[in-house]
Structure 1
Amino acid sequence: MKQKTTAIIIFSLVTILAIIPFFHTDEPPARAVEPSGELSTEISKLLTDEPVLNGALAGVSIRSAEDGKLLYEHIGDTRLQPASVLKMFTAAAAYSVLGEEYRFTTEVLADGKIDGGTLAGDLYLKGMGDPTLLPADFDEMAKKLKNKGIKKVSGDLVADDSWYDDVRYSEDLTWNDEHQYYGAQVSALTASPNQDYDAGTVIVNIFPGKKGKAANISLEPETDYVKILNETVTVGAKGKHEVKIEGEHGSNNIIVGGTIPVNAHKAREWVAVWEPSLYAGSLFKKSLENHGIKVVGKIITGRATETKTKLISHKSMPLAELMIPFMKLSNNGHAEVLVKEMGKVVHGDGSWEKGLEVMNAELSKIGIDSSRLVLRDGSGISHANLIPANEITKLLYLAQREKWFPAFQHSLPVAGAKDRMVGGTLRNRLKDEAIMNKIKAKTGSLTGVSTLAGYVKTSSGETLIFTILLNNLLDDREGRKVEDELVKILARQP
């Protein structure tokens, strides 16, 4: 996802002995901050001396993983933008509400009888939130229908996404993000192009053509649901590589322009589609045709009532497995689907409003003071989301006693680990041999915002919990360097 956060100012450590439990007697001390000598000095110096933090805000919170004791804070109770660090709150609530083994279902139903290989009526593809449907899954469903003897559908192929409401974008998504993969429309029926599971997107591949000619463009998956408007030019080997991809609002026209050198490597970009339920329907129809099943009618949207006959169903991977691409790659779409699914399961209403209501309530049960949070979505893409750093370290401490904690911790990016599904968004950071694999944390970035929160093992083997929220940055990329330096200070602690 795209997010970012800032930070600054010095903090004078204060010892306050009042410990105020919220819901559990073993909750971490809320204000038991003790000076930790060299640790305090090093962090305070870093926050003071870094030019990138001039005019910015730095929310820093550090706790002991053993007892939750707050070891250091810098404006730790000030609400700041968390960016994708918020996904840890979404994951925790989803584990608590849905469970590690929870699976999403997709059903295929009919409103007519099968006679002589012909389904006399419409065929329904009913989505129930699965963001991991791939073309291969549609192939498998088509194969099962063929095995039932279906060779022809006399009616329409109906795409049913009524499991959730019809609000496609979270409240604060900016208009210029709508064609970006991280801003894709949220639907109960959708499809992903590959195993990154960026639901509601296609991959646009751009190869150089002959000099002076347009580039060669292909799509993953191959689909006629979107139309490529190729305005590119292949230039000489020393020419500029400036390819620009834009989605046309309200349509599935993708405009590809700019120049690509004749000797350039392939350019690749994920682009959000308009109306993902019909996109999923088009991929399913193609799979049906590839398996010898002809659909006479059109692909339309509609609703499968309870009177329809269920032919087959498909189950997604369990939630604990889905958490890997969700958290490692910071997948916004997964976060918003989980919010809506929590609303659907608890209140029968797959909306952001009800999902966030459930999320706040569940976080309170875990021990978080939800009255201190402003949650506007599940992904952290909204600049209106606000969470204090101390509340984030509190979540990471309290999560340790939950039965789902091993799966939760396993889903966090591991610093310096090369494998994308291990290192995730931290695979190219903190690669020093001395600290590689000792940091498991969630990254976050938005314009002007950079954040990092998680667990770090010190040189003595102790585990510390940390949160760094940097807001109001002029250069959020420089903010990441500050985060990395601070985490190195923690890793060096004896």
Structure 2
Amino acid sequence: MTRPLRPLFVMLLTACLSSVWSAAWAQAHATQKTHKTRHTPSPTANASGDVGQLPPEVEAALQRAKVPREALHVVVLDTALNATARLSVSAQTPVNPASLMKLVTTTAALDLLGPAFVWRTPVYVEGVVRDGTLQGNVYLRGSGDPRLVVERLWLLLRRLQGLGIQKIQGDIVLDHSAFDMAPRDAGGFDGEPLRPYNAAPDALLLNFKSLLIQFVPDRSANVARVQVEPPLAGVQMPTSVPLSTEACNDYRTGLRADWTDPARVKFAGSYPASCGEKMWPVAYSAPTQFAARAVLGMWQQLGGQLVGQVRDGTVPTNLQPAFSAESAALSETIRDINKYSNNVMAQQVFLTLSQQQRGVGSLGASREVVLRWWRDRVGGEAPVLDNGSGLSRDERISAQSLGHLLQVAWNSPSMSELMSSLPITGLDGTLKRSKSQAVAHLKTGSLRDVAGVAGYVDTASGKRWVLVAILNHPNANAARPALDALIDWAAQQP
């Protein structure tokens, strides 16, 4: 059997979610660095608990970015448990780690759920089928699947039609009860409600509550053709937009999109012909309506009929599922989470940890589950958790604690799964544009005033170091060259 292709929407959307990091990284590496090998003295500890001193090239990069050395929190360790630090500077101070917190969530999930864990979305059919018509309701019950994207929704509904159902006399009922989540303002974090990274978790999370809008220039008609996935029932979208001769810079702003009416999206501007084909992932402006509109839109596109409506509800007691749609394994899911820093997928996994133990997932319960796991498996100072994704102003962890977590992960049975989920310097994920000369697998973290990396760095001699470096400062993103210099320094250590 051939392996199914990875869903296109996931690749495009996760790439979009990393755009903030990528732009900052490109700017930070506008000037190519040179590297010189130097003798490093044996590490020594001082009264503050620090071991060694920041390398001169790191200090110089911080000075150029006007970031004080106190804003950088670093630890470099051997992968062996309880090994002495090679370098430790301000490593004991809890700081905001941004998306480095995903390492806590994904490591705990691999340990508690196992790398082969899958999410199952059961489909229930209530009533009898006569001549292609179901005399009753269909129920879709979410289980927290982080990647129930448009292609898999299509397959699910095709499988429903495979039961001989073309017309549903009753309703399609969406059951979100596996997660207990309070309503959330999509723009509450940073005022960007249309950014897919701000999508709220949901037990029945369909397509990240986001649209993928494709623009295809048609020069003969002087328009760009507009294609949208998934189809949303009751939503009018433009089928074309005028072409312009402008340079392909900020084409999204030039489109002058109007999202104020969720049922009627408008483009008052134009699209530069020089852009060629582009994909624009955008969070739907009425996220609570998204699942219902997407299910009905896809059902109608497949030729299905619905007499009733798509509504929220719960599955009746004792009703058995007709079939279940199964997700990819957790090991594959965390590659999207860590390589592309997908926030809502990380939150789905975080909530699943308590859902699997208690039947219903909630943020409070998942914090308890992870902290108990931390005490049992990691030890030492525990992190301050919020939603497990790092998209938070409240989460905290020290570089030392994160370094110890990476040591524990390295010595665990799931080491290879975690390692393969981390971006590789200069090759993929959020480190694709890295100019570091080292070979390293590192998770990245980025917020307005936070920048960091954490993972494993290889040396020419075959040794591997654990590296954690976190910047908390208003100029943190301008100081990314300091992180590059630190990665390269670690790769030169014997």
TM-score by length of 1: 0.82
Asked if 1 retains the 8 angstrom alpha-carbon contact of 2:424 and 2:440, the reply is yes
Shift of 1:125: 1.5
Asked if 1 retains the 8 angstrom alpha-carbon contact of 2:458 and 2:491, the reply is yes
1:290-336 Cα deviation digits (max 9, x unpaired): 55532211111111122334212111111111111111111101111
Corresponding residue of 2:155: 140
Shift of 1:347: 2.3
Decide which moves more: 362-371 or 318-327. Answer: 362-371
Shift of 1:181: 0.7
The correspondence of residues 5-24 of structure 1 with structure 2, limited to 5 A, is: 15=45
Shift of 1:258: 4.6
Corresponding residue of 1:22: none
Corresponding residue of 2:347: 336
1:462-482 Cα deviation digits (max 9, x unpaired): 211111101113261x22211
Check if 1:490 corresponds to 2:490. Answer: yes
Corresponding residue of 2:9: none
> Structure 1: which 5+ residue stretches go unaligned?
6-11, 18-29, 193-198, 418-422
Partner SS, residue 203 of structure 2: coil
Corresponding residue of 1:265: 276
Supply the AA of the counterpart residue of 1:295. Answer: L
Check if 1:60 corresponds to 2:61. Answer: no
Shift of 1:348: 2.5
Shift of 1:173: 4.8
Shift of 1:232: 6.8
Corresponding residue of 2:36: none
The correspondence of residues 328-367 of structure 1 with structure 2, limited to 5 A, is: 328-367=339-378
Partner SS, residue 79 of structure 1: coil
C-alpha distance 170-57 of structure 1, shift in aligned 2 (>3 A): farther
Check if 1:116 corresponds to 2:116. Answer: no
C-alpha distance 232-465 of structure 1, shift in aligned 2 (>3 A): same
Check if 1:319 corresponds to 2:330. Answer: yes
Corresponding residue of 2:419: 409
Check if 1:204 corresponds to 2:218. Answer: no
Corresponding residue of 2:114: 99
Partner SS, residue 118 of structure 2: coil
Shift of 1:265: 2.3
Q: Out of 213, 219, 223, which is 2:232 matched to?
A: 223
Asked if 2 retains the 8 angstrom alpha-carbon contact of 1:231 and 1:255, the reply is no
TM-score by length of 2: 0.82
Shift of 1:397: 0.7
Shift of 1:451: 0.7
Corresponding residue of 1:449: 450
Partner SS, residue 483 of structure 1: helix
Shift of 1:355: 1.2
Shift of 1:424: 1.0
1:364-395 Cα deviation digits (max 9, x unpaired): 22223354x22111110112111111111111
Q: Out of 424, 430, 435, which is 2:435 matched to?
A: 430
Decide which moves more: 308-317 or 445-454. Answer: 308-317
Distance (whole Å) between structure 2 residues aligned to residue 171 and residue 384 of structure 1: 17
Supply the AA of the counterpart residue of 1:479. Answer: A
Shift of 1:241: 4.7
| CA-based RMSD | 3.3
Asked if 2 retains the 8 angstrom alpha-carbon contact of 1:328 and 1:424, the reply is yes
Corresponding residue of 1:20: none
Supply the AA of the counterpart residue of 2:45. Answer: T
1:193-252 Cα deviation digits (max 9, x unpaired): xxxxxx221112235577998754321234346544799764334697542276847946
Shift of 1:84: 0.6
Asked if 1 retains the 8 angstrom alpha-carbon contact of 2:102 and 2:389, the reply is yes
Distance (whole Å) between structure 1 residues aligned to residue 260 and residue 381 of structure 2: 37
C-alpha distance 300-370 of structure 1, shift in aligned 2 (>3 A): farther
Distance (whole Å) between structure 2 residues aligned to residue 250 and residue 290 of structure 1: 23
C-alpha distance 363-153 of structure 1, shift in aligned 2 (>3 A): same
C-alpha distance 239-288 of structure 1, shift in aligned 2 (>3 A): closer
Corresponding residue of 1:397: 407
- State the number of aligned residues: 455
Partner SS, residue 389 of structure 2: coil
Asked if 2 retains the 8 angstrom alpha-carbon contact of 1:356 and 1:376, the reply is yes
Partner SS, residue 101 of structure 2: helix
Corresponding residue of 2:12: none
Corresponding residue of 1:26: none
C-alpha distance 375-89 of structure 1, shift in aligned 2 (>3 A): same
C-alpha distance 350-114 of structure 1, shift in aligned 2 (>3 A): same
Corresponding residue of 2:395: 385
Asked if 2 retains the 8 angstrom alpha-carbon contact of 1:181 and 1:272, the reply is yes
Partner SS, residue 387 of structure 1: coil
Decide which moves more: 459-468 or 228-237. Answer: 228-237
Check if 1:458 corresponds to 2:467. Answer: no
Supply the AA of the counterpart residue of 1:268. Answer: M
C-alpha distance 182-164 of structure 1, shift in aligned 2 (>3 A): same
Q: Percent identity?
A: 24
Distance (whole Å) between structure 2 residues aligned to residue 47 and residue 363 of structure 1: 35
